[in-house]
Structure 1
Amino acid sequence: MTVDRAAVAALVARPALQKLLGALDGAGETTWIVGGAVRDVLIGRPVSDVDCATTATPEETMRRAGAAGFRVVPTGVEHGTVTVIVDGTPFEVTSLREDVETDGRRAKVAFGRDFAADARRRDFTMNALYADRMGQVHDFVGGLADLAARHVRFIGDPARRIAEDYLRILRFFRFHAAYGAGDIDAAGFSAAVKARAGLDRLSHERLRAEIAKLLVAPRALETCRIMAEAGIMQRVLAGVTHEERLGRLTAWEAAAGRAPDAVLRLAALGAEIAEDAERLRERLRLSNAETRRVHAFAALAERLRGAAGPWRLRDLRALASAFPPEVIAAAFAAVAPQTEVEPRGRDLLAAAARGEEVVPAFPLSGGDVVAAGVEKGPRVGAVLAAARERWLDADCPADRAALERILREAVAAVREG
């Protein structure tokens, strides 16, 4: 691979990074940029976070950074990592190390001074590239060739790398989805399949972080299919998966000009019925907001599977008053793309896909119902529900005369009922 020295030099020349290297380098210690920043700059991707590897011990790193006036946070000092904040920019700085003992989740490490040894204990060859203060790239494990070929390959024996940390199974697939081209690495795939039971030992939070990144990667769909065929995706999500729905959703996102949505993609892949939302919440530690979106998608999927159509504009507006518009559009695209929808309903779904407001806010409130002579209590909610249905039937009017008529009819219907 031809190294773009100018791009690497521009990375190294970032003012905050220069200050950091100036403080940590010298007097017997060497600090280089490592990992994702080097990888991404070499293939022309934007670089946000910059990590560094240093011969200095964590204590020496903290001493030098503190002496330079930088804020230091001992984020993972037991594993050699401290975060140094320079002019508001955080840098993770990790002492060169070797794994002495691992159990598939955590490692005991020994600090060293050998960059080549540090490279050999990392996961993938393309993640073990270093750049020094002069912009020179250092490759100890063949990462440049693999990066040029977009081939995600474990360093050394894949089974041994995975046994050190079972999260590397998901990282292997995630990096293939994000950076890979061509077929997945055969040796890595075989080792991942054989060790897939180790995924059960990982925390829910670690599973969630990797799956969220994988689902929005450029080759997410085909990678999810590979994982499902090997029984890995079902193990991660603790349930049946639906790659065909994920395929229709990704096609819809592309056609609608929408950015990949990890939560909607997760729902399409793993939420067949509403109860699945709770399973995914527990399995991946979803937030309340994420769970609500997954639940909405699954609930809509159940309704769509039982409806032959055609869907009227009024019916879609009723859905849109209860569910997020983009979830409705996504569910139609992923679950029932052939369902008949009236032309104005199609317009509503298209607007929902664009993120536009598709239903005006229901203009009546509990106060309006009380003012119409209904005593406070459960009957107020019943009147509001009846009024909403009539308002939708009337094409969502906003004029006061129509609203007063709708309210009178709703009050009468509830009293008679």
Structure 2
Amino acid sequence: MNEAARARIAAFLAQPALARLLAALNGGGEATRVVGGAVRNLLLGEAASDIDLATTALPQETIRRGRAAGFKAVPTGIDHGTVTLVAGGTSFEVTTLRQDVETDGRRARVVFGRDFAADATRRDFTINALGLDPEGAVHDYCGGLADLAARRVRFIGDAASRIREDYLRILRFFRFHARYGAGAPDAEGLAACIAGRGGLPGLSRERVRAEVMKLLIAPGAAATLQAMAGAGLLVPVIGGVPHLSRFAAVARDSGENVYPAFRLAALAVAVREDALRLRERLRLSNEEFDRIERIARAMERLRGRAGLPAIATLRHVAHEAGSDAAAAALVLQTVSAEGKGRGVVQELIGELVLTPAFLPTGKDVIRLGISPGPRVRQALEAARRGWIEAGCPAGADEQMAFVRAAVAAAP
């Protein structure tokens, strides 16, 4: 470990809430360490936001000590030894050392223990099994430090056994590789994932969705999805044929600054039926489905046109599906454009974003003599179409002129 890493660890352990908690949980025959992702990220020089601790203390003793030190105790997973301790808006998950004694591919029955090494070896990947004690020493029982240096995501022990304990680890293997790995996925891990893919249908769709969404925005998502597809593991997850080249182009151009739902649309959507399938297969949230379904509708409207659409066409699509969806659909259908073509796409999106609002409402139509009913909406839509074809003038009087013309032409 270099000096920079030691300095990061020292600063991390000096955080007042963490230092106070470790002081409370250690001593009197008990020992507690920071474990998992926080340690991994510290060593990589990345933010350690979620802080998990492992302790020899039983849950009730953890609660007692935490409360004595001024922490609020929440028994978030007390049957499995987990207590969340909160102070000053910062929360820490503290879990009693444990060992799996029975698994069914989705959940485990555990017994509590006092052996940090045994607790580490029950975890999924070597880079997630590192521990950090209050003195700043890093404990590595599984070769995680070497794998972290090599940017290698490797199962602890026998990969097939780890997967049989929880088949979600197949998706976690690829997600962690996309986030932390380099080069091709670990060969043993990949072979075990392929062999264990029959367990994927038994996973809850919510858990699958969470892993997929995290994978899609990881730095190595494009190459990892290609590896999943080559192994026959991507189609069973998304339920359709992936658009890998389109996804790779989107990932290349947008980096990490993008909505996961947009990345999912880039990978798996061409028509509205794709959005409906993804909602069912991945249990998308209402917000995610709304965004993806609107992008699909916009893509259907733009499909089949030669060259880039006129700004008026794009504005009509935006009226039906939303400006964000119209812009996203345009990007997805022109993502391979180079040079001047890419510049024109950005100009079109810029014009779309600056389109003024169409202010007239149904009340304006009624005031001009149309009786309430379907004809009001029809007249307003006709007025909006005329306004868009005329270049979307912003003035209220100019916009009302289109309403008057639509009312005069109404049957």
TM-score using structure 1 length: 0.93
- Compare 193-202 and 231-240 and name the one that shifted more: 231-240
Q: Which residue of 2 aligns with 1:213?
A: 214
Q: Which residue of 2 aligns with 1:312?
A: 310
Give the Cα separation in 2 of the matches to 1:36 and 1:345: 40
Q: Which residue of 2 aligns with 1:159?
A: 160
1:271 aligns with 2:269: yes
Q: Which residue of 2 aligns with 1:391?
A: 387
Could you say what secondary structure the match of 2:234 adopts?
helix
Query: Retained in 2: the 8 A contact 1:12–1:133?
Result: yes
Give the Cα separation in 2 of the matches to 1:351 and 1:26: 65
Give the Cα separation in 2 of the matches to 1:176 and 1:342: 31
- Compare 155-164 and 65-74 and name the one that shifted more: 65-74
Q: Which residue of 1 aligns with 2:329?
A: 331
Query: Retained in 2: the 8 A contact 1:162–1:168?
Result: yes
Could you say what secondary structure the match of 2:110 adopts?
strand
Query: Retained in 1: the 8 A contact 2:121–2:156?
Result: yes
Q: Which residue of 2 aligns with 1:95?
A: 96
Alignment RMSD (CA, Å): 2.0
1:17 aligns with 2:15: no
Give the Cα separation in 2 of the matches to 1:170 and 1:271: 20
Give the Cα separation in 1 of the matches to 2:351 and 2:305: 22
Query: Retained in 2: the 8 A contact 1:99–1:110?
Result: yes
Give the Cα separation in 1 of the matches to 2:342 and 2:22: 63
Q: Aligned ranges for residues 277-316 of structure 1 at < 5 Å?
A: 277-316=275-314
Query: Retained in 2: the 8 A contact 1:30–1:55?
Result: yes
Q: Which residue of 2 aligns with 1:359?
A: 355
Provide Cα deviations, 1:315-344, integer angstroms capped at 9, x if missing partner.
112222333434333322322346898987
Give the Cα separation in 2 of the matches to 1:325 and 1:341: 20
1:402 aligns with 2:398: yes
Provide Cα deviations, 1:234-272, integer angstroms capped at 9, x if missing partner.
111122211112112223324xxx703210110111112
Provide Cα deviations, 1:337-374, integer angstroms capped at 9, x if missing partner.
4689898775132466xxxx332211110111111111
1:380 aligns with 2:381: no
Residue 130 of structure 1 and its aligned partner are, at CA, apart by: 0.6
- Compare 207-216 and 341-350 and name the one that shifted more: 341-350
Q: Which residue of 1 aligns with 2:188?
A: 187
Q: Which residue of 1 aligns with 2:348?
A: 348
Could you say what secondary structure the match of 2:369 adopts?
coil
Q: Which residue of 2 aligns with 1:51?
A: 52
Could you say what secondary structure the match of 2:329 adopts?
helix
- For 1:49, the aligned partner's letter is D
Question: Relative to 1, partners in 2 of residues 1:305 and 1:71: Cα closer, same or farther, differing over 3 Å?
Answer: same
Give the Cα separation in 2 of the matches to 1:389 and 1:345: 23
Give the Cα separation in 2 of the matches to 1:396 and 1:333: 23
Could you say what secondary structure the match of 1:48 adopts?
coil
TM-score using structure 2 length: 0.94
Residue 96 of structure 1 and its aligned partner are, at CA, apart by: 0.5
Q: Which residue of 2 aligns with 1:30?
A: 31
Residue 302 of structure 1 and its aligned partner are, at CA, apart by: 2.5
Give the Cα separation in 1 of the matches to 2:390 and 2:15: 61
- For 2:38, the aligned partner's letter is A
Could you say what secondary structure the match of 2:33 adopts?
strand
Q: Which residue of 2 aligns with 1:227?
A: 228
Could you say what secondary structure the match of 2:326 adopts?
helix
Could you say what secondary structure the match of 1:151 adopts?
coil
Could you say what secondary structure the match of 1:232 adopts?
coil
Q: Which runs of 5+ in 1 are unaligned?
A: none
Provide Cα deviations, 1:367-390, integer angstroms capped at 9, x if missing partner.
111111111111110111000001
Q: Which residue of 1 aligns with 2:73?
A: 72
Question: Relative to 1, partners in 2 of residues 1:138 and 1:393: Cα closer, same or farther, differing over 3 Å?
Answer: same
Count of residue correspondences: 408
Query: Retained in 2: the 8 A contact 1:24–1:64?
Result: yes
Could you say what secondary structure the match of 1:62 adopts?
helix
- Compare 305-314 and 183-192 and name the one that shifted more: 305-314
- Compare 28-37 and 15-24 and name the one that shifted more: 15-24
Question: Relative to 1, partners in 2 of residues 1:344 and 1:53: Cα closer, same or farther, differing over 3 Å?
Answer: closer
Question: Relative to 1, partners in 2 of residues 1:128 and 1:361: Cα closer, same or farther, differing over 3 Å?
Answer: same
- Compare 402-411 and 89-98 and name the one that shifted more: 402-411
Give the Cα separation in 2 of the matches to 1:146 and 1:50: 21
Query: Retained in 1: the 8 A contact 2:360–2:400?
Result: no
Could you say what secondary structure the match of 1:231 adopts?
coil
Could you say what secondary structure the match of 1:348 adopts?
helix
Give the Cα separation in 2 of the matches to 1:130 and 1:374: 73
Query: Retained in 2: the 8 A contact 1:317–1:358?
Result: no
Provide Cα deviations, 1:166-199, integer angstroms capped at 9, x if missing partner.
1110110000000001221000000001101111
- Compare 392-401 and 195-204 and name the one that shifted more: 392-401
- For 1:405, the aligned partner's letter is A
Counting aligned pairs with the same residue, the percent is 53
Q: Aligned ranges for residues 119-158 of structure 1 at < 5 Å?
A: 119-158=120-159
Question: Relative to 1, partners in 2 of residues 1:343 and 1:88: Cα closer, same or farther, differing over 3 Å?
Answer: closer
